[in-house]
Structure 1
Amino acid sequence: MPGDTAYPPPGGPPSGSPPPPGWQPPPPPPRPGWGPAPQTGAPGVPPGMPPGMPPGTWPGMPPGMPPGMLGAAHKPGAIPLRPLGLGDMYDAAFRIIRFNPRATVGSAVLVAAVSMSLPVLLTAVLTFAVDLTSDGTSGVSTGEALAVVGTSGSLLVGTLLQGIGLLLVTGMVARVVAAAAIGRRLSLGEAWAETRGSRWRLVGLAVVLGLMAFGALVVYVGLWVAVALLMPTWFVVVFGLVTVPAFLALAVWWWVRVYYLPVPALMIERTGILAAIGRGFRLTRKQFWRTLGIGLLTAIITGIAGSFLSLPFSIAAQVVGVVVPDSQYLALTTVVLTALGSVVQTAFVTPFSAAVSSLQYLDQRMRKEAYDVELMAQAGIS
């Protein structure tokens, strides 16, 4: 009809006629999947390239690109938008911490410092108000009892407060990771604002998961008590040999399938408590061993690194206890050194662990739900 735009046929302009202005040949169909391109020459060499040419020198490839990476994914931020390997996750975790230090390390240090200030202040009050030294008798003096009770109790309360605060830090880090995936950096204030509307749900999620774990432990201990009181010795031995490994296996399964991914699911998808638990359960389906391996390796790495970071403070506390065992300030010095060790340890362990678990969440969604396409759209990649 007059006025309609005439589009060239799919195969191009007719033979012998010039192409219309702006016409370009259609792009080749996309290759399905994330695997390497099919090889037609020597192994590890892209099609059409000389077999003897070393990797990184092929025409059109950036220096240092390994074989099989011709179809590299978009990387607008800290991660390539494709399914991630272990190296991708750890590299991205360090990048996120490095480029968002206030929202990751800064938030963890702030929470740990505020939480540990409570035992330090309480012990300082006891130190200057009561004689906490030994009276030289064989029994335990009032000062020694106050020192033990005040120090232990205040450290316990501080640790509980720190756990609640670090739960919020974990939620903040999940939002930081989601922003870093599309190339955004979040300050501490921006990361805190990103958690608005999900903070109480995050606390509720922690309570629900804690009650689940505590309930399972109570039931198992109750079974042990009943068996020990009512059954003969041989049955108790058999019961232990069968149920202890089974209970440990159940605990590992629960940690991977139920506990590990609900926090990033709740914070990134802004869903409810039970829905977040369900999301974590579905995302780890048929991915149990991979999730367990990465999570367990991360726990081992952070545990060893955290122990090394807090070791100087633990040694210093023991040295002070040996050198000046009857000092009025022994309890205060011990609490201060313990608090400093906890703050230093938390500064690395919490951001790194939270970043890796959040990256595993993104990885599972990209593997199962093509979430990389949505991330590309958020990053403005067409």
Structure 2
Amino acid sequence: MTETGGPSGPEGTETPKPQADAPTPPQGEVRPPSAPEQQWQSPSGATPPPPLPSYQPPPQQQVPDWKVGLGRPGVIPLRPLNLTDILDGAVTAMRKYWRMVFGAAAITAVLTAAINLVGLLLIDTTSDLEQVRDLGPAATDQELLNQMLGLLGGTLATSFIGLIATLLGTTLLTGFLTVLMGKAVLGKPVTFKEALKEATPRLLPLLGLTVLYTLAIMVAAIFCLLPAIIPYTFWALASPAFILERGTVMESFRRSVKLVSGMFWRVFGILLLATVIASFLASIITLPFSFGAFMSIFGNLNEMYVPSTGDLILQSVGTVISQTIVGPFTALVTVILYIDQRMRREGMDIELARAAGITPPPPPQAW
């Protein structure tokens, strides 16, 4: 028998209860706790249960950065592009791969200028100009007509040679830069030899495509300027499609029409703006090289200007420099526009992200 309020025995007697009227301790002393804290003990000796995990708020979902889209492994972000993205992508590619871009542009520009210069020297239009200038007021109408027809024939011949040279240079530069941009979008390294090796087998069919494209625009322009805009825009993406998709010429024309359909004026506006920018910069670059011609014209307003061989060579040098600097811009804009249309219509940004080693996010779940 234990005392009331004493400690309990080992075999389950009553637990001690705190006294109701405990005496007040004297000053300076601390009252002991009325009931000591009891730690949980398992009768079988098992370990105590682990504490409950504290509440953690769910992580906030990361808002996608629409400026980057699926990432930017190369010169453009992998998402539908705006005008600034397209122009910036062309300039970035020219700056990042400047040796290859300007090297290829310089080779094609020198080739084009050389063919033009040879054509001008072989078809001597300067003699026709001198004969027209030397005709006095006593010349008959028939003499004037004969001289003008001769001058017109020579001019058409030199223009035809210049057109052939331009088509050759455009084909070489477009094929090379299209392959380069295909690598630049993914941020993959590429050498001049690799890009040239990949583009070479497609250059001859690409030349035929370029000739058909040019002829369509010229034939449409004979009737009016507005019909020329239709083939110019609808078939503008045929060259990049031909190089990157490796189809036939007719398949590339159909692919271009399919990609442009529904966005005709957007594609036309971007191409026109790129052409205006390139033409403006080219005119600024070539102006100092044509300064002698302008001075001759303004110095002798009453006489017909006849360019000398030195003037022709100087103008050719200015053309080479301007085409080297400005020529790649329009070609790169066209390729980026082709990639943009495919990202908008066919989800090519996901394919490009996978090719660049980027895992695209899963599609949103439908709740």
Query: Scaled by the length of structure 2, what TM-score is found?
Result: 0.66
- Sort the Cα spacing of 1:280 and 1:149 in 2 relative to 1 into closer, same or farther, 3 A: closer
Say which of 54, 77, 80 aligns to 1:80.
77
For 2:213, the aligned partner's letter is L
| 1:112 corresponds to | 109
Shift in Å, 1:173: 1.1
Deviations 1:48-94 (A, max 9, x none): xxxxxxxxxxxxxxxxxxxx658743111111111111111111111
**What aligned pairs does 1:146-295 form with structure 2 within 5 A after superposition?**
157-216=161-220, 220=223, 248=226, 250-256=227-233, 258-295=234-271
Distance in 2 (CA, whole Å) between partners of 1:126 and 1:292 is: 37
Deviations 1:142-199 (A, max 9, x none): xxxx999989955752453133222221121111111100012433332221213211
**Contact between 1:76 and 1:183, CA under 8 Å: does it hold in 2?**
yes
**Contact between 1:299 and 1:353, CA under 8 Å: does it hold in 2?**
yes
| 2:42 corresponds to | none
Distance in 1 (CA, whole Å) between partners of 2:235 and 2:277 is: 19
Shift in Å, 1:211: 3.6
Determine what percentage of the aligned residue pairs are the same residue: 29
**Contact between 1:81 and 1:376, CA under 8 Å: does it hold in 2?**
yes
- Sort the Cα spacing of 1:271 and 1:126 in 2 relative to 1 into closer, same or farther, 3 A: closer
Query: Scaled by the length of structure 1, what TM-score is found?
Result: 0.64
Shift in Å, 1:137: 8.5
For 1:354, the aligned partner's letter is A
| 1:89 corresponds to | 86
Moved more, 208-217 or 357-366: 208-217
Shift in Å, 1:120: 4.2
**Contact between 2:116 and 2:165, CA under 8 Å: does it hold in 1?**
no
Shift in Å, 1:117: 2.4
Matched, 1:309 2:285: yes
Shift in Å, 1:97: 0.8
- Sort the Cα spacing of 1:187 and 1:330 in 2 relative to 1 into closer, same or farther, 3 A: same
Shift in Å, 1:270: 1.1
For 1:208, the aligned partner's letter is L
Partner SS for 2:216:
helix
**Contact between 1:170 and 1:350, CA under 8 Å: does it hold in 2?**
no
Distance in 2 (CA, whole Å) between partners of 1:251 and 1:149 is: 25
| 2:19 corresponds to | none
Shift in Å, 1:336: 0.7
Distance in 1 (CA, whole Å) between partners of 2:134 and 2:267 is: 56
| 2:99 corresponds to | 102
Distance in 2 (CA, whole Å) between partners of 1:210 and 1:342 is: 21
- Sort the Cα spacing of 1:317 and 1:147 in 2 relative to 1 into closer, same or farther, 3 A: farther
Partner SS for 1:83:
coil
Deviations 1:207-233 (A, max 9, x none): 222343344456x4xxxxxxxxxxxxx
* Structure 1 unaligned spans of 5+: 1-15, 19-26, 38-67, 141-145, 221-243
Deviations 1:257-286 (A, max 9, x none): x22111111111111111101111111122
- Sort the Cα spacing of 1:120 and 1:368 in 2 relative to 1 into closer, same or farther, 3 A: closer
Moved more, 167-176 or 273-282: 167-176
Distance in 1 (CA, whole Å) between partners of 2:240 and 2:272 is: 18
Shift in Å, 1:324: 11
Say which of 362, 365, 370 aligns to 2:339.
362
**What aligned pairs does 1:2-151 form with structure 2 within 5 A after superposition?**
69=66, 72-120=69-117
For 2:165, the aligned partner's letter is L
Distance in 2 (CA, whole Å) between partners of 1:180 and 1:377 is: 15
Partner SS for 2:287:
helix
- Sort the Cα spacing of 1:169 and 1:136 in 2 relative to 1 into closer, same or farther, 3 A: closer
The count of aligned residue pairs is 292
Shift in Å, 1:318: 3.1
For 1:334, the aligned partner's letter is D
For 2:98, the aligned partner's letter is P
Distance in 1 (CA, whole Å) between partners of 2:123 and 2:216 is: 38
* Structure 2 unaligned spans of 5+: 1-49, 53-57, 144-149, 360-367
Partner SS for 1:290:
helix
